[in-house]
DNA sequence: ATACAACTTAAAGTTAACTTTAAGTCAAGA
DNA sequence: TCTTGACTTAAAGTTAACTTTAAGTTGTAT
């Protein structure tokens, strides 16, 4: 069972031209062609397409994804290189999540701030609140 | 107490030219100038700089941050607009985190996969494993 | 008063990751 | 066989968010 570039694009929820671009950049060396030159994706290719999508969604550049893909082409003999890339990416994702969590806390603070401003009638009145009236979790966001 | 563009850039861990670019794009209408034209940042400005940094780090475009900032300039009278932006951004951040978590799970699967390949001697041997030998949490990543 | 590091602007340059265009080819159905 | 929608490539275009450059100004320290 084979899939065309358009079918794969739909599955991956990207533009077909994006898939062609990835191919041109060397991310899809495993994709075979028909006699007429049409790309023929196999079910078996989905594993690689998914990991490529995963690396892309977690911020890896096309260039670095290419490096990763090329370790596959060079055979079965060294899992460590691929493993290192995966483990490093895992650490990067954890950092991204920690950073997002910090930013989420800041947004929570701003929400509290505006809610309080509505209650008290103005932003100035929130600024005048004693520190004891500000939830402890928000103290780190105070500028003065 | 005033800070120059360079001092603020250091605090925010960005290039000074980035701050100037943000100013040019209308993100910093609250920054006053000296008679000679030098930007003078106040401690009081840090709150806005921090929320700008937060919105930027969570993926908001310069254009949309500008919209948010402009609600401040238009005064104290409508917290709802700012609140809506903050709440919407919060939802976006939650989606980002959920997405990162899914990708982290995929990376975990790949790590398991390579570890297993090392144990069994080849990638093919991992492919041959019966489903019962694959942790349940990874079943969703199986392509066949 | 002079030096000099850091500031100023406008404009041009950079980068990554697509996206579009143009001109043509493939392959499945009527 | 013909039509037609989806495929092909190479090359040019787009976008956002900076970053650099050039030429000049400011302000602090000696």
Mean pLDDT by 10 residues, chain B (144 residues): 97 97 98 98 96 98 96 76 95 98 98 92 91 96 82
Size of interface A-B (CB pairs under 8 A): 99
Asked whether the beta carbons of residue B106 and residue A51 sit closer than 8 angstroms, the reply is yes
Please report the residues numbered 56 through 115 in chain B whose beta carbons come closer than 8 angstroms to any beta carbon of chain A.
57-58, 76, 79, 82-83, 86-87, 89-90, 93-94, 96-97, 99-101, 103-104, 106-108, 110-111, 114-115
Q: How many residues does chain B have?
A: 144
CA torsion sign, B7 to B12 to B16 to B21?
negative
Name the burial class of residue B24, with classes exposed (0-12), middle (13-18) and buried (19+) by CB atoms within 10 angstroms of its CB.
exposed
Closest Cβ opposite residue B114 in set A79, A93, A144: A79
pLDDT value, residue B98 = 98
pLDDT value, residue B77 = 61
pLDDT value, residue B80 = 85
Asked whether the beta carbons of residue A97 and residue B93 sit closer than 8 angstroms, the reply is no
Asked whether the beta carbons of residue A111 and residue B83 sit closer than 8 angstroms, the reply is yes
Residue A102 host element (H or E): helix A79-120
- Reported as a single tens digit per residue, the pLDDT across A63-83 is 999 999 999 887 756 788 899
Q: Is the distance from CB of A19 to CB of B116 less than 8 angstroms?
A: no
CA distance linking residue A78 with residue A104, whole number of Å: 40
Q: Which residues of chain A have pLDDT under 50?
A: none
Shortest distance between the Cα of B111 and any Cα of chain A, in A, equals 6
pLDDT value, residue B60 = 98
Unique residue bearing structure tokens 């104290």: B76
- Alpha-carbon torsion angle B118, B105, A66, A15, nearest 10: 140
CATH topology (fold) of B1-77: Multidrug-efflux Transporter Regulator; Chain: A; Domain 2 (1.10.1660)
Residue A134 contacts strand C, CB under 7 A: no
Asked whether the beta carbons of residue A117 and residue B79 sit closer than 8 angstroms, the reply is yes
Mutate to test the interface with B, among A12, A57, A103, A105 (most CBs of B within 10 A): A103
Unique residue bearing structure tokens 């969570």: B58
pLDDT value, residue B76 = 59
Q: Is the distance from CB of A48 to CB of A72 less than 8 angstroms?
A: yes
């Amino acid at each position: 069972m084979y899939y065309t570039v358009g079918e794969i694009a739909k599955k991956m929820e990207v533009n077909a031209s994006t898939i062609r671009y990835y191919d041109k950049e060397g991310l899809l060396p495993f994709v075979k062609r028909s006699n007429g030159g049409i790309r023929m994706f196999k079910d078996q290719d989905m594993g690689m397409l998914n990991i490529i999508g995963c690396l892309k969604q977690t911020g890896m550049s096309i260039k670095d994804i290419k490096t990763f893909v090329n370790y596959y082409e060079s055979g079965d003999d060294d899992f460590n290189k691929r493993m290192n890339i995966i483990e490093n990416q895992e650490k990067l994702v954890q950092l991204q999540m920690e950073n997002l969590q910090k930013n989420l806390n800041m947004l929570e603070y701003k929400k509290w701030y505006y809610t309080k401003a509505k209650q008290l009638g103005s932003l100035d009145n929130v600024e005048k609140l004693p520190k004891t009236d500000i939830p402890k979790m928000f103290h780190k966001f105070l500028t003065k």
